[in-house]
Each structure stands twice: as C-alpha cells, then as structure tokens.
C-alpha cells in the first residue's frame, strides 16, 4: 500500500530545466486540449500534469484492454483501484465508475468486465489503474476564477466538512508561504489537522502543495479551474487521489488600470474651475461653489457660467476655454448633455483632473451608458483623470477644499481618510460624526468611470495627514490590483472596509466544485484577509473601529487592564477580550501592592479591577498610572457610570498613557450624549458595550501584530547574505523573533560577565522581562540580527547585532553588537555588522552611530573594519559614526 509522498519523492519533484514546473511535454497536454476545444481534462491527464509539477498522485496509467489492465496491476502491485476514463463521465463514483481495493487478478478481470458493461453506451477511453492509497485525512484543494480577482485557490477538509459545513478558505493567487499557512489555520477544522484526534498531518508538505498549485496556475494560465478532491493527508506527506481540470484559452489580462500615477494635485489643486457654478440658492451649482468659498479654499476659483459676469462676487467665464490661466481641476455640475461637451473642453484646455458631479450616465440606462463611454474615450486620449460621474467630489480639510453637492458646515481637520461610492452616504457620515470624528480627506467615487477606490486608497496611503483609511465599497473593480495596493497600504496604516456582501448569482459559470463554493463574499473576505484589510460588519462596527484607530495608539501587547464600577460589565469585557485574542493583564506583585493601596478595603483588586459604585476620577487616574508602569498592561478599558461621566473627562485627559491605548465604556451612552461627545473630543472612544470596546482593542492589537510581522519580513528580504561558514560550521543570519526567548536567554547566560559588561555597560543578566523585550522587536524602531548555528539537534545564538532608531536624531541609528566569547575574532562580528549596515541603508538611515568603552578593542576593530569614523571621546567612551549617504 502506498503511503504519502516521502521526502525523497518530494525532492524528485524538481522543476524542468528552464525553471518552469512543467516540462514542454507536460504542458503540451494542456495546449492540445485547448486547441481541440476540449475544456475538461480527465483524471489521468490532470494527474500527469500534477505529477509533472511535483505533486504526488495515485498514478495515471490507462489500460485499453483487459490484458493491459492486468499487466499494469503487475507493475503497480495489489491492491489497486480502477476508474472509468471517459470525457462524458465527470462524477465517476456516482456513475459506478470507481472500483476500490481490488486484491487479485480475478478481482481486476471482474471489475474490468463489469465497468465495460455498465458504460457500454458511453464513449470510453479506457480504465485507469492506480495505487490504492492508505486512508488519510480527506481534504480538498481547488482553483477557480473570479471576474474581478482572477484565479483563487481554495482549501478545506473533505466529506461533510466541505459538503455540509462549507468549511473552506480562499486566497487570491499567487499566494505566499504565509498565505498558505493562514489558509490552513483559518478553517474551523484546523485542529483536526494538528492532531486533535490522532497524529497531526504533515502541515509543512501541505503548505508546499498549496504553493506548488499556486505556481502551476501562475505558469499555466490555460488551467481555468482545478479540483483535487479528495486529497489524503498523512503524518508524512499527502497524495492526490482524484483530480480534474478545466482548461481554456487564457483571458486577456486587464490592462485598463491607469494607476494612481500621481493624484497629489488632484487632492491639493492650486486652481479649480466650477462648470455650472451658480448664484441661485437651491441649485447644485450654487452648493458646490458656495462650499468652496465658505470653507476658504486657498487656490484660485473660476466659476464657469455663460450667463453671468460674476458668481458670488468671483469673476465668471463663459467657457473653461476662456480662462486665461492654467486650471488644475474642473468640477462639472451641469446636466449630462452639456457635461459631455464641457469635459471635452476641459481636455482641450489641458485640465488634468475633472470631477464629474453631474448625474445621468451609466447609472441611468442605455443612453447614459453610451455617453459615459464616449467621455471615457475622450479622457483616455488626453490622459485626463476623471472622478465620477454621479459623485459628490472630494473634501480635503487640510486644503480647505469642499467640493460636495450638499451644503456643509464647519469641518475640523482630521486624520481619517474615507472612500465612499455615494455622496449621500458620505455626507450623512460627515455630518453625523462631525462632533466625534475629524476627517482629513473624503472622496466619493460614484460611477468610477476612471478613478476608482483602489486609486484613492493608494493615494491616501501616501498622504501624511491621513492615518486611518475607511472604505465603503459596493463592488471592487480590478480586484487583483486592489489586493496589491491594499496589502501595501495596510502596512502603513489601518485600512477598514465595509463591504456589503451581495451575491450576484449567475455571474460565474459554475463548473468545478470549487467554483460552486466561491461565492462573492468568500472571495471578498479572502481578498481582505490576504491584504491585511480590516473588515467591519456594519456601520456601527466601522465607526467603532475608526474612532479607536483615529484617536488611540495601537496596543503593543495583548494584556489589558479593565477598570470598572460594576462586576458584570467587567465580566462582559473579559469574555470578549479572550474571544478577540486579548487577555487580562497580570500585574507584577509590586504593582498589586500599589493597587491595594490605591483602593478602598472592600474593592476587588484583581483584574478586572472593580471599584464598585464609589469609583472616582482620581482613583481611576491612580489605577491607570500603575498600569502604565506595568510591563504586562498594554491597554485599558475603563467602564464609567453614565451619570458621572462628565467628571472623568479632564482627569482622563491629564494622564500620561505612554503610548498605551484606552477606551471607555458607558452603558446606555446614547442617553448621556453630551458628556460622551466631550470624552470623544478628549480623544477617548466611548462604546456602549464592553464587548465592543474589547473587540475593537483586539482588532487593533491584531493589526499591529500583522503589521510588525509583515514589516519584519520585508526587512528580512533585504538581507544579502543569510548563510556563512565559521570554523567550518554553517551559520545562519536572520532577524530575531518573539519565539527566540529560550535561545536569547541561553545566549546571554553563555556570555562572560566581561562581554556583557562591554555591551551593556552595566552588570547584565537574562530575566524573563528582558528576554521578552529583546526578542519582541518593533520593526519601526529597531532591527535585531542574530547569527545562529546548529549543533546537532540544538540551535545556538553566536552573536546579536542591533540597530536602534535614535528618536532624538532624525535619520540616525544607534548600533550595538555582542558576540559570544568563543566566537570572537572569527570575522563573525564583521559579517554581522556589514549586513546591519546594508539593512540600515535599505531602511533609509543616513548615519549609524556606535558607542563603546575605550577598552573594547575587539569592537573598535570591527567598527574600523566597517569604515566607521572616530567621532569623539568622552571620559572612557569612544563614539564612532558611519555615514551612509
């Protein structure tokens, strides 16, 4: 009986000489089928392609006669499986075309005759004879295509898990190793794979299999869909038991995406013409122009109105062509018929950006669609970028620019950037939230004939005034580019999306099993997860998240201090914290004593800290200040009684939180709205349920973790050397990570007191807190590179080098290095330092500064070898710098 693919089998699966997974011969199977107009590849053909790509299957031999069948069995050995090979039979076992566990020549003959008889009215190519796979955990992997996102990969457990529970995960192809790991982790049944009952499956080879499929599809776009159903997973390896593919001529890849080349001037235009500006109150052209004037737009304004000399006292022109100066941006707010000509005029004049607020285009039927198509052709010809039509323009409070169709009152400058489809929605939010949330840029995209949500997202991620991006989306245009852009944006700032999960039935031609499981919402979800975008359930959740991200820093750890006046809300918060990947912080004994002193006798000093009805602002301040100092507390939830909320605002504001976030909970807050607004304006999001506060903190923390890990990965990719040999021993260079606590502790313990003294300039020992701190590096502030050797089964650190951002000196990193005593003077220090210098350059540092004791000759020698310059001397310290520019 065959087991899974062993390691040697897996290694055999090397790529063909030109680096492609499939040899020319193998890919010819696909091309031929496409040429013959055959869309369905039978099991044996599919498996031959899979084997060619290094994927283990039960085999693909086909017998055309009974004798041939027997001969093949001899070759494979019993027991065998026989299956019908016919282009007309897609579901073989349903049709009686699968015979399992055949033990003898006799069994095989009987099965052969039986199948020939049963399928005598169908076209039969033969019978596949394959190995009988040992039972394993059944899984399914599939590929299907989405009109917007392109190819998708699916993973799930087989049988009822997929059929009934639809327990599957999706990702947009191609995937990374991390995506593959997350796909496996994400299914509800993942504990089964990890050995919940019995032995765990070989997750490593499953992950590699997903990556191989990803490559196979990338290199062979003719493979339209694919099902490996089932796949057996083993504690070592896996085997594909059944396979089918659907092939076709690859679709032309979309090339219309013009990209957000540079939308800066679109958001910060120096001059604006308003075509259709009017003096007549109630007209949309009045509203738009009035908004620009009343909010103090700082650039030049040109009202365009053929019947007027001036509009609101500003000189008007008959046509944009009459404006003597260059115009950066034009807003078109005239009826659709006139709009077409106006846009053409803008193009002729050389206006680079046009905002079409006029309606009556693609959203309004056939004629409008045609008009929109004509406009599109014109703007493409002139390279003009257009927002809309049928939108409400852009608001940029940092440029005092309000282009909205509805009259808007005062807006404060804020750090939230928002993309919305519809103007009415955006206006509602702006007005509704204007007391508690300040926006920076709001863009409404309307019909998105040209500029779409992804272009704006790309720009917002670059704008330094914006630190949170909110997107309200109805559909995603060119999903593939969205994933690309969103992945990069989410590394810089949180991107929160509210997407209605509409299912457009019938949009996809469903052929494979995978396709039937890939509903629009599953695909959107996959895209959001893959790119690190946070998906909000509804408007309420969206604003809860936005307020927190906009007002508070991201928690650096998952320990939370909950302060409450009632035990029940403390419990509610606690439950949700644990469900959201957070936990209650455990205060160090010293801090517990301080808590005791800060509270009345009867109070409960555990965490949640229940101050009961006597809770006062001063008490809360004391408690928070203790929490700020504790290493395990990284965020706060403060549950406050509504009636006395007002008395907490100033005190809450006066605390130095040292970059640890705090959220408030006020039950029934909608009835104490006056004080809630005050508290929000003081910078603290207020939630009406403890659950919401806990969930939001959890999502902020998860965002921070993801961002750190993605940043660390991207730094790691800049290492030019990751293996070297020291004393004939292989040494690996890599970034330190939170799992290295034991290795770090061993390393410190193995260093001599002198080496530690020279590095830390004071006696130093490995405490758990220090291990935590030194292994949990914030990639925005620090890079820690380790040299790791493998000695038999054991791993060991030989040296650690650190670059730490100097917060007081822009562009400068401080550098420190320690090599364990037996490995000093073996050029390891120089190699580590060279790599750190490379990383510092890539990270954009201009100088590296190192300070060490005068008697640290070994270190000074390393610095000199790396071309550091002697900088100065202070008592017994030497300071050296390296200029990177």
User: Does 137 engage in binding with ligand ADP (CB under 6 A)?
Assistant: no
Q: Alpha helix locations (H) across 784-856? A: 828-842
Select the residue interacting with Mg ion from 27, 207, 229, 607 (CB under 5 A): 229
Label residues 78-117 b or e (16+ Cβ within 10 Å = b): bbbbbbbbbeebeebeebebbbeebeeeebbeebbeebee
Count CB atoms within 10 A of the CB of residue 270: 14
Select the residue interacting with ligand ADP from 58, 214, 220, 444 (CB under 6 A): 58
Instruction: List, as one string, the DSSP characters of 179-209.
Output: HHHHHHHHSTTHHHHTTSSSSPP-HHHHHHH
- Give the DSSP H or E segment for 84: strand 80-85
Task: List for the chain the helix, strand, coil content (%; round to 5).
Answer: 40, 25, 35
User: CB 38 → ligand ADP: shortest distance, Å?
Assistant: 18
Length of the chain in terms of residues written:
885
User: Does 130 engage in binding with ligand ADP (CB under 6 A)?
Assistant: yes
User: CB 63 → ligand ADP: shortest distance, Å?
Assistant: 15
Secondary structure class of 836 (helix, strand, coil): helix
User: CB 227 → ligand ADP: shortest distance, Å?
Assistant: 8
Select the residue interacting with Mg ion from 138, 179, 225, 242 (CB under 5 A): 242
User: CB 95 → ligand ADP: shortest distance, Å?
Assistant: 8
User: Does 552 engage in binding with Mg ion (CB under 5 A)?
Assistant: no
Instruction: List, as one string, the DSSP characters of 664-702.
Output: EE-TTGGGSHHHHHHHHHTT--EESSHHHHHHHHHHHHH
Contact in structure between 404 and 396 (CB atoms under 8 Å): no
Q: How many residues bind Mg ion (CB under 5 A)?
A: 2
Instruction: List, as one string, the DSSP characters of 302-337.
Output: EEE-TT-SEETTEE-BSSGGG-SS--SEEEE-S-HH
Label residues 482-513 b or e (16+ Cβ within 10 Å = b): bbbbbbbbbbebbbbbbbeeeeeeeebeebbb
Using the contact rule CB under 6 A, the part of the chain among 88-96, 432-440, 767-775, 790-798 near ligand ADP is 88-96
User: Does 48 engage in binding with Mg ion (CB under 5 A)?
Assistant: no
Which of ligand ADP, Mg ion, none binds 812 (CB below 5-8 Å, type-dependent)? Answer: none
User: Does 58 engage in binding with Mg ion (CB under 5 A)?
Assistant: no
Select the residue interacting with ligand ADP from 167, 202, 242, 851 (CB under 6 A): 242
Cβ proximity to ligand ADP, 3 vs 283, nearer residue: 3
User: Does 111 engage in binding with ligand ADP (CB under 6 A)?
Assistant: no
Site for Mg ion in 681-740 (CB under 5 A): none
- Give the DSSP H or E segment for 626: helix 617-629
User: Does 558 engage in binding with ligand ADP (CB under 6 A)?
Assistant: no
CA–CA gap between residue 568 and residue 457 (Å, rounded): 41
CA–CA gap between residue 129 and residue 127 (Å, rounded): 6
Cβ proximity to Mg ion, 93 vs 869, nearer residue: 93
CA–CA gap between residue 594 and residue 614 (Å, rounded): 19
CA–CA gap between residue 368 and residue 836 (Å, rounded): 59
Using the contact rule CB under 6 A, the part of the chain among 89-97, 293-301, 597-605, 849-857 near ligand ADP is 89-97
Using the contact rule CB under 5 A, the part of the chain among 40-48, 224-232, 718-726, 741-749 near Mg ion is 224-232
Select the residue interacting with ligand ADP from 12, 35, 75, 91 (CB under 6 A): 91
User: CB 94 → ligand ADP: shortest distance, Å?
Assistant: 6
User: Does 83 engage in binding with ligand ADP (CB under 6 A)?
Assistant: yes
User: Does 224 engage in binding with ligand ADP (CB under 6 A)?
Assistant: no
Cβ proximity to Mg ion, 89 vs 354, nearer residue: 89
Using the contact rule CB under 6 A, the part of the chain among 116-124, 125-133, 333-341, 346-354 near ligand ADP is 125-133
CA–CA gap between residue 411 and residue 400 (Å, rounded): 9
Backbone phi and psi for residue 143, each to the nearest 5 degrees, phi listed first: -130, 135
Q: Which among 460, 526, 477, 525 is positioned nearest to 498, based on CA atoms?
A: 525
User: CB 242 → Mg ion: shortest distance, Å?
Assistant: 3
User: Does 230 engage in binding with ligand ADP (CB under 6 A)?
Assistant: yes
Cβ proximity to Mg ion, 229 vs 291, nearer residue: 229
User: CB 59 → ligand ADP: shortest distance, Å?
Assistant: 8
Q: How many residues bind ligand ADP (CB under 6 A)?
A: 16
Q: Give Cα 89 to chain centroid, integer Å.
A: 41
Select the residue interacting with ligand ADP from 10, 26, 47, 92 (CB under 6 A): 92
* Strand 468-473 relative to strand 416-420, pairing: parallel
Which residues of the shown chain bind ligand ADP in the complex (CB under 6 A)?
58, 81, 83, 91-94, 98, 100, 130-133, 230, 241-242
Q: Which residues bind Mg ion (CB under 5 A)?
A: 229, 242
């Amino acid at each position: 009986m065959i087991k899974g693919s062993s390691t040697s089998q897996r290694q055999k699966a090397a790529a063909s000489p030109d680096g492609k997974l499939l040899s020319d011969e193998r890919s010819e199977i696909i091309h031929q089928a496409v040429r013959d107009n055959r869309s369905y590849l039978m099991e044996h053909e599919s498996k031959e392609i899979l084997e060619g790509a290094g994927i283990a299957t039960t085999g693909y031999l086909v017998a055309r006669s009974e004798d041939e069948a027997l001969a093949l069995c001899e070759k494979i050995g019993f027991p065998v499986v026989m299956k019908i090979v016919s282009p007309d039979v897609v579901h073989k076992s349903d049709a009686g075309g699968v015979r399992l566990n055949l033990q003898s020549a006799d069994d095989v003959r009987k099965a052969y005759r039986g199948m020939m008889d049963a399928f005598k009215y169908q076209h039969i190519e033969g019978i596949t004879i394959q190995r009988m796979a040992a039972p394993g955990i059944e899984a399914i992997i599939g590929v299907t295509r989405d009109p917007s996102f392109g190819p998708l990969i699916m993973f799930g457990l087989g049988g009822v898990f997929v059929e009934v529970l639809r327990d599957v995960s999706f990702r947009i192809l191609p995937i990374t190793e991390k995506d593959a790991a997350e796909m496996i982790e994400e299914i509800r049944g993942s504990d089964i794979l990890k050995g919940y009952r019995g032995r765990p499956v070989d997750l490593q080879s499953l992950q590699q299999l997903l990556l191989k499929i990803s490559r196979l599809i990338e290199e062979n776009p003719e493979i339209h869909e694919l099902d490996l159903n089932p796949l057996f997973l083993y504690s070592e390896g896996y085997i594909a038991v059944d396979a089918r593919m659907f092939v076709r001529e690859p679709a032309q890849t979309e090339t219309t995406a013009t990209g957000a080349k540079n939308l800066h001037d679109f958001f910060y235009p120096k001059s604006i013409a308003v075509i259709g500006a009017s003096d007549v109150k109630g007209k949309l052209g009045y509203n738009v122009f009035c908004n620009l004037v009343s909010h103090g737009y700082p650039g030049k304004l040109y009202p365009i109105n053929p019947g007027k000399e001036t509009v609101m006292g500003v000189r008007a022109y008959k046509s944009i062509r009459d404006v003597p100066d260059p115009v950066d941006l034009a807003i078109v707010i005239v009826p659709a018929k006139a709009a077409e000509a106006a846009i053409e005029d803008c193009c002729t004049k050389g206006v680079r950006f046009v905002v079409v607020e006029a309606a009556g285009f693609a959203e309004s039927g056939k004629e409008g669609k045609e008009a929109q198509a004509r406009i599109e052709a014109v703007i493409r010809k002139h390279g003009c970028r257009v927002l809309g039509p049928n939108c409400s323009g852009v608001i940029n409070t940092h440029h005092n620019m309000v282009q909205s169709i509805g009259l808007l009152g005062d807006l404060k400058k804020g750090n939230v950037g928002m993309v919305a489809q519809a103007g009415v929605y955006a206006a509602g939010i702006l007005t509704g939230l204007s007391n508690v949330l300040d926006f920076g840029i709001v863009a409404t995209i309307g019909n998105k004939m040209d500029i779409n949500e992804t272009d704006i997202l790309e720009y917002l991620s670059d704008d330094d005034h914006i630190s949170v991006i909110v997107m309200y989306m109805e559909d995603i245009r060119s999903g593939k580019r969205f994933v690309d852009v969103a992945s990069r944006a989410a590394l810089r700032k949180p991107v929160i999306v509210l997407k209605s999960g509409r299912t457009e039935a019938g949009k996809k031609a469903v052929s494979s099993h995978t396709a039937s499981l890939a509903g629009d919402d599953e695909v959107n979800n996959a895209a959001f997860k893959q790119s690190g975008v946070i998906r909000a359930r509804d408007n309420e959740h969206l604003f809860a998240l936005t307020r927190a991200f906009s007002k508070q820093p991201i928690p650096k750890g998952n320990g939370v201090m909950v302060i409450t006046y009632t035990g029940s809300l403390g419990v509610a918060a606690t439950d949700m914290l644990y469900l959201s990947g957070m936990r209650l912080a455990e205060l160090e004994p010293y801090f517990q004593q301080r808590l005791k002193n800060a509270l009345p006798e009867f109070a409960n000093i555990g965490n949640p800290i229940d101050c009961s009805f006597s809770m006062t602002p001063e008490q809360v301040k004391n408690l928070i200040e203790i929490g700020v100092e504790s290493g395990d507390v990284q965020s706060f939830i403060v549950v406050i009684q509504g009636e006395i909320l007002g008395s907490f605002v100033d005190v809450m504001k006066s605390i130095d939180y040292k970059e640890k976030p705090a959220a408030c909970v006020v039950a029934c807050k909608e009835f104490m709205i006056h004080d809630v607004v005050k508290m929000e304006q003081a910078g603290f999001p207020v939630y009406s349920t403890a659950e919401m506060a806990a969930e939001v903190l959890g999502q902020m923390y998860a965002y921070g973790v993801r961002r750190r890990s993605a940043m660390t990965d991207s730094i790691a990719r800049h290492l030019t050397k990751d293996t070297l040999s020291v004393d004939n021993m292989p040494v690996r260079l890599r970034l330190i990570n939170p799992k290295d606590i034991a290795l770090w502790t061993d390393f410190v313990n193995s260093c001599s007191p002198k080496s530690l003294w020279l590095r830390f300039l004071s006696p130093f020992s490995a405490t758990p807190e220090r291990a935590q701190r030194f292994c949990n590096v914030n990639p925005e502030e620090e890079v820690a590179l380790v040299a790791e050797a493998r000695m038999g089964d054991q791993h060991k650190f030989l040296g650690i080098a650190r670059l730490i951002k100097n917060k007081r000196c822009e562009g400068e990193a401080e550098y420190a290095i320690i090599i364990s005593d037996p490995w000093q003077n073996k050029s390891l220090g120089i190699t580590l330092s060279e790599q750190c210098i490379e990383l510092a350059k890539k990270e954009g540092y201009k100088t590296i500064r190192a300070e060490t004791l005068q008697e640290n000759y070994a270190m000074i020698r390393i610095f000199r070898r790396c071309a550091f310059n002697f900088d100065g001397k202070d008592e017994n310290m030497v300071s050296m710098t390296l200029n990177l520019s």
